[in-house]
Amino acid sequence: MSVSAIPEQLADPVVIQGLFQVAAAAALAAVVIVVSSIRNLDLERELGGSFARGFVQVLAMGALIGVLFTVPLAFSGLLLAAMVVYAAWESRKRGGGVPDAFRISVIALGVGSAVVIVTMVAAGAIERTVRNLVPVGGMIIANAMKTNSLTLDRFQGEIESNRDEIEAVLALGVPPERAVSEFVTESVRASLIPVVDAMRTLGLVYIPGMMAGMILGGANPIYAAEYQFVIMGMIFAAGGLTSMTASLLLGRAAFTDAAQLRRFEAADPTLLATLRAILDR
């Protein structure tokens, strides 16, 4: 894709039509923001910012996608790794001060996504091309990020709500990981609710866009259904592996070397400073 080709793409009638559709979607988002303001939910900045940010980011990716398809296959691995790091950076914010939330998120997302992507590439479900590997891999990482965010959020809430009970149990000599095992389990269970519900309603209530797109593109409807199930299976597996890996690490990170429950103090350092702190350990 050359730079001169970008203005031509912007002048495409389909792009102009898409802008009207974006305006309609933005109007619906604005309704949600207004309701949030009326009900004093204090979510207007986060909702509006995430909507606008998502629009800019997806447009940027659309403009660069042609360039990405021309890079060597090996480069896709670096790109997916960068996606994991950025997804972990965004996800760790849901931890509300959970110790080592970024490091835990990187490991959990890396394990969950890598196992699924490598396995499905070996099985032939994901083609060994940048055109296929990057979009499908990004989708797997994005969904694993959602699960990780829910795990962190629920774990933080469970620990803070039951801090007195946990400290009392620790005082009786109960091992740290056992003292929080119930809350870790609840975090995993809660984080997997969306993907489990999606699997249960697949084909009845939830009709994924990829399956519909393949059918409209002329693919065999049965194969389209099979491949969509493969995609959902990958999302399910990545989410489960991510959540379970995170839960194992969270149970340990919540305590000091002296088996004392840490204080969850929220902070907002830069990504570079956090990476340096991890590398300096």
Other beta carbons less than 10 A from residue 224's beta carbon: 20
Position 72 scores a pLDDT of 76
Note down pLDDT in tens along the chain; length 281 residues.
Answer: 444 444 555 566 766 777 788 888 888 888 988 988 898 888 888 888 888 888 887 777 776 666 666 777 778 888 899 999 999 999 988 887 788 899 999 999 999 999 999 999 998 888 888 888 888 899 999 999 999 999 999 999 888 889 999 989 888 888 988 889 889 999 999 999 998 888 888 777 666 677 777 777 787 888 888 888 888 899 999 999 999 999 889 888 888 888 888 887 766 666 666 666 656 65
Position 10 scores a pLDDT of 57
Position 145 scores a pLDDT of 95
Position 122 scores a pLDDT of 92
pTM score, two decimals? 0.75
Position 25 scores a pLDDT of 84
